[in-house]
Structure 1
Amino acid sequence: MSVGKRIKERRKELKLSVDEIAKRLGKNRATVYRYEGDEIEDVPVSVIKEIAKVLKTDPGYLMGWKNSKEDLTSENSYYYLPTTISAGVPLEVNGLTENDIEQITLPDSVMGKWAGNKDVFFTKINGESMNKIMPDQSFIAVKKVGLNDLKNGDIVVFSDSHEYGVKRFYLFDNRVVFRPESTDPRITDYQVTDLENLNIYGKVVLFIVEN
């Protein structure tokens, strides 16, 4: 099997689009198609390493030197907001400056399809209103998206007049409902009708429970 076919096969295994690969490599989609079609001879080793990192595989596999596809040693760094976001009612969060933002490093095997995604940041939640899905004090990975990119049922990090929360998102006409997933029946929906002060910071794509 050629290098290009291995790249294409691995991309499809990870269910990644050509556009996603191009974005992560900092190249255009036509170049990625040329890689997959073996139209570029003598692809530099440095490029092979970058492609392998995006595809969470070993460069030796893409070159045909190894049979194992997985590279369990690869890892990436992500921005981490060292604060907790309430999973209950929105909770006031002190303003963070650029100096407050930290970085954490996680194995790609933990991050899965989100490994290396520069639009993903981490923070932490507290409270019990999402405890059917995410326990109190879970670390959450949040992918930056806008209001128009959300679907009903997505779990989002939002703020309403500078107060922050984590809930399931539902849009009904000009009213947004943030719905809990809790074992506590006393925890109810949080509704927003004044959308001017509503900010969506992203949707939760995975969570990690701290032992």
Structure 2
Amino acid sequence: MKKDISKYVGQQIKHYRKLNKLTQKELGLRLGVKHNTISSYENGTNEPDQDILFALAEVFSISINDFFPDIENNNINNNTSFEFEYDFIPVPVSAGIPLNIDGMKMNDVEKIKIPDFIMGRYAKRRDIWIMKINGDSMNKVIPHGSLIAVKSSTLDDLKDNDIVVFSNGYEYSTKRFFNDKLNERIIFRPDSTELCFTDYTIPYKNAHELKIHGKVVTYIVNLD
């Protein structure tokens, strides 16, 4: 099933490359990869990641969806589903100063369908849920308005520099995580082009309301 869609994507890349009269070497130069990498995409032995697919779509002036079969009318396998329904928390999570979000309950969820090619190796996992980012404190890596895919995690699952969704009381936010054991504190650090954002620090002794909701594993821009 995965092999079938990889081959289909490869055929589409080859089709649009030839349509644009580009050699594999020329396309590779545009993307910053070697020509044999393009060859591996086209023959289906190597699957391009999300960033490469968006770059290819930009080079070819097409939608990223043009690389994939119509889910309802595909000719690969009519019993194959190329999307999955994930839990969606409808309240935007702050990527700025942690916000007090009244009434937010992690169990009060909606549903959202996302194509497998967007989720990559996290596709169809039931421990993944979706939220929307609000703010610019993480805009070097996650732009405002992006959907984020969050893998349920605990404090023990994390390593320094992971991007997490956390709350302290009712203040929810998304930042990079650092465990400063020497000074006995947790640091949540912005990753922004704007210098106004600063660290949000919680001493161990004041962390009784701190909760790590999950680790951000990917993000989706302009999905709709």
Q: How far off its partner does 1:92 sit? A: 1.0
2:202 pairs, out of 188, 192, 197, with 192
- Unaligned segments of structure 2, at least 5 residues: 1-45, 48-75
Alpha-carbon contact 2:151-2:214 (below 8 Å) kept: yes
Counterpart check, 1:177 vs 2:187: yes
Counterpart check, 1:116 vs 2:124: yes
Q: How do residues 49-64 of structure 1 correspond to structure 2 at under 5 angstroms?
A: none
**CA 1:98 to 1:125, structure 2 compared with 1: closer, same or farther past 3 Å?**
closer
- Secondary structure at 1:82's aligned position in 2? coil
Per the alignment, residue 166 of structure 2 pairs with: 158
Q: How do residues 73-152 of structure 1 correspond to structure 2 at under 5 angstroms?
A: 73-96=81-104, 100-152=108-160
**CA 1:111 to 1:93, structure 2 compared with 1: closer, same or farther past 3 Å?**
same
- Secondary structure at 2:139's aligned position in 1? coil
Q: TM-score, normalised by structure 2?
A: 0.60
Q: How far off its partner does 1:98 sit? A: 7.7
Q: How many corresponding residue pairs? A: 145
**CA 1:76 to 1:160, structure 2 compared with 1: closer, same or farther past 3 Å?**
same
Which AA in structure 2 matches 1:81?
Answer: I
**CA 1:98 to 1:209, structure 2 compared with 1: closer, same or farther past 3 Å?**
closer
Instruction: Percent identity, please.
Output: 45
Per the alignment, residue 222 of structure 2 pairs with: 210
Which AA in structure 2 matches 1:195?
Answer: A
Q: How far off its partner does 1:96 sit? A: 3.5
Alpha-carbon contact 1:154-1:169 (below 8 Å) kept: yes
**CA 1:113 to 1:99, structure 2 compared with 1: closer, same or farther past 3 Å?**
closer
Alpha-carbon contact 2:89-2:106 (below 8 Å) kept: no
Q: How far off its partner does 1:107 sit? A: 1.2
Q: What CA distance in whole angstroms lies between the structure 2 residues aligned with 1:164 and 1:77?
A: 24
Q: What CA distance in whole angstroms lies between the structure 2 residues aligned with 1:133 and 1:190?
A: 18
Which AA in structure 1 matches 2:134?
Answer: N
Which AA in structure 2 matches 1:129?
Answer: S
- Secondary structure at 2:124's aligned position in 1? coil
Which AA in structure 1 matches 2:96?
Answer: G
Where has structure 1 moved over 4 Å in runs of 4 or more? Answer: 97-100
Q: What CA distance in whole angstroms lies between the structure 1 residues aligned with 2:217 and 2:116?
A: 14
Q: What CA distance in whole angstroms lies between the structure 2 residues aligned with 1:160 and 1:98?
A: 14
For each residue in 1:39-65, what CA deviation from the matched residue of structure 2 results, as whole angstroms up to 9, or x when unmatched?
Answer: xxxxxxxxxxxxxxxxxxxxxxxxxxx
Q: TM-score, normalised by structure 1?
A: 0.64
Q: How far off its partner does 1:94 sit? A: 2.2
